[in-house]
Amino acid sequence: MRIWKQVTLSLAVLSGGLCLWLFVRPDAASTLVNLGVPRPLVSFLAPAGQGTGAQGTGKPSLPSGAQQVAQGAGQAGQGSGAARGVLVVTRQVETGTVNDHLNAIGDGQAIQSVVVMPQASGTVTEIRVASGQKVRKGDILARLDDDEQRIERDKAQVALRSAVEKSQSYRNLQSVARLDVLDAQIAEESARLALGTAELNLRRRDIVAPIDGVAGIVAVNIGDNVTPQTSIVMLDDRSQILVDFWAPERFVTQLKPGLAVEANAVSRPGQTFRGEVQSIDNRVDSASRTIRVRARIDNASDLLRAGMSFSVAMRFPGDSYPAVDPLSVQWDAEGAYVWAVEEAKARKVRVKIIQRNPDRVLVEAALEGDDHVVTEGLQRVREGQPLRVQGASPQKVAEAQRT
């Protein structure tokens, strides 16, 4: 583009901008006159009805009364705008609770479980229990071969009878020395002890139930050779089920024996089993920052089994905090804050976030349950600025501003 075209275009743009300025600003003509621009030229460029000012003062040439009316109208317009305030949307502060419930996964076990083992080595000759059978304490579950033990018992009985006869004869005879009588009595006592040992060894050939419970799968068959380390069967007393679970460290001060527990078994969806805390461990695990808790659940209906997994739930009083809308929380260099509405004006309230949820945020702040915080229109809100709440009646807003 040639230089003369560039100069012409620049002058046209400047002239257009000057005309637009004169049209938009009422005091533009007076400003140009004060800067030394000839008054006829300014009168030619200025729109019709716009004066160039009296005596170069820069003010429109209006009568004094008209000036007062115009000034009063401008002040009234400014007052009306200030009274209306910034239009915002608010939401009432609610109350939320944290640490009021605990959910955990636990493992169930019978209140008492025993692995039954024989007390002697031998061959299994009889099995009297089946899987799933309920047994009582002292019931015989199986037998080992006992021929040798029976013979030993009979021999001990014969030896005892002989010792008793000899001891009685020595006590009735006057010619027997006192020392011989004492030896006969000692022999009688030894024979009684030998008989007791033989009978004990014979009883140990019977494998008996040490507790009341339900038998599991029998691990041996007739004819098997077993030792005292051989597992015969497992007995579970499942009249009550113990559920072990791990609770976070923050619940340590609230946990205590006797608290109510609700458990749901994975194998029985829809059914809730109620129990109570039986015991709490004496230390917190340093690796997971959790503590072991054991709950006891009644199982009189025999619906639960040892080894089941449970979803455990507990409820506590918890800690209450103000809850605000997530949209109301703002951030600056000092941290988080919200805009609270106080007497139809904005008030900045600093908050400390305790828990963030999808629908609300629990904060630690100087807020009450009947306070309102701004959720929309936040970009235009300033400290102490009048606010106009959407949905609120103008009369209530005016009364709040007057108070």
Q: What are phi and psi of 71, to 5 degrees?
A: -65, -40
Q: Calculate mean pLDDT across residues 357-371.
A: 87
Helices and strands per DSSP (H, E), number in the chain: 7, 22
Is the separation of the CB atoms in 312 and 332 below 8 Å? no
278 band by pLDDT with thresholds 50, 70 and 90: very high
The H-or-E segment that residue 243 falls in is strand 233-248
- Higher pLDDT: 375 or 402? It is 375
Can you tell me which residue has the tokens 């941290």?
A: 335
Which residues are within 8 A (CB) of 192 and not within 5 positions of it... i.e. 6 or more apart?
160, 163
The answer to whether the beta carbons of residues 259 and 147 sit under 8 Å apart is: no
The residue-averaged pLDDT of 143-155 equals: 93
The candidate with the shortest Cα–Cα distance to 290, out of 262, 312, 265, 266, is: 312
Residue 39: band (very low, low, confident or very high) from pLDDT cuts 50, 70, 90: confident
317-350 pLDDT, tens per residue? Answer: 878 889 999 999 999 999 999 999 988 888 999 9
3-state secondary structure of 192: helix
User: Would you say 129 and 217 are in contact if contact means Cβ atoms under 8 Å apart?
Assistant: no
Contact indicator for 107, 170 with CB cutoff of 8 Å: no
Chain segment 78-128, per-residue pLDDT in tens: 444 444 688 999 999 988 887 778 899 999 999 999 999 999 999 999 999
Tell me how far apart the alpha carbons of residues 206 and 126 are, in angstroms, rounded to a whole number: 9
- For residues 183-206, average pLDDT: 92
Does domain 86-96+320-402 correspond to CATH entry 2.40.420.20?
yes
Query: Binning pLDDT at 50, 70 and 90, where does residue 358 land?
Result: confident
Written as one letter, the residue type at 257 is P
Domain range annotation of the chain: 3-61, 86-96+320-402, 103-108+231-318, 117-226
* Fold type of domain 117-226: OB fold (Dihydrolipoamide Acetyltransferase, E2P) (2.40.50)
Q: Are 374 and 328 in contact (CB under 8 A)?
A: yes
Question: Is the CATH number 2.40.30.170 carried by domain 103-108+231-318?
Answer: yes
DSSP labels, 198-218: HHHHHHTTEEE-SSSEEE---
With tokens 């004496």, the residue in question is 282
Average pLDDT over every residue of 24-48 = 66
Cβ–Cβ under 8 Å, residues 23 and 10:
no
Is 237:110 a contact under the CB 8 Å cutoff?
Answer: yes
Region 150-154: mean pLDDT is 94
Is the pLDDT reported for residue 285 higher than 90? yes
Q: What is the mean pLDDT of the chain?
A: 83
Q: Would you list the DSSP string of 338-362?
A: EEEEETTEEEEEE-EEEEE-SS-EE
Q: Which residue shows structure tokens 């579950």?
A: 141
Does the fold of domain 103-108+231-318 match that of domain 86-96+320-402? Answer: no
Alpha helix (H) ranges present in 178-262? Answer: 178-203
Centre a 10 Å sphere on the Cβ of residue 385 and count the other Cβ atoms it contains.
16
Q: How confident is the model at residue 257 (pLDDT cuts 50, 70, 90)?
A: very high
Residue 43 has pLDDT above 90, yes or no: no
Query: Is residue 133 scored above 70 in pLDDT?
Result: yes
pLDDT band for position 54 (cuts 50, 70, 90): very low
Q: Is the pLDDT of residue 55 over 80?
A: no
β-strand 86-92 against 352-356: which pairing, if any? unpaired
Residue 23 has pLDDT above 80, yes or no: no
pLDDT digits (tens, 9 = 90+) for 205-253: 999 999 999 999 999 999 999 999 999 999 999 999 999 999 999 889 8
Q: Determine the distance from the C-alpha atom of residue 74 to the mean position of all C-alpha atoms in its chain, rounded to a whole number.
A: 60
DSSP state of 333: T
Q: In what order do the strands lie in the sheet with 206-208?
A: 206-208, 140-144, 122-127, 225-226
pLDDT tens digit sequence for 246-255: 999 988 988 9
pTM comes to 0.58
Could you say which DSSP state residue 129 is in?
A: -
How crowded is residue 164: how many other Cβ atoms within 10 Å of its Cβ?
15
CA dihedral for 318, 322, 323, 326, sign (positive or negative): negative
Q: How far apart are the first and last CA of the chain?
A: 67
Answer for the pair 298, 252: CB distance below 8 angstroms, yes or no: no
Q: DSSP string covering 138-156, please?
A: T-EEEEE--HHHHHHHHHH
Tell me the one-letter amino acid at 271: Q
Say if CB 231 and CB 113 are below 8 A apart: no
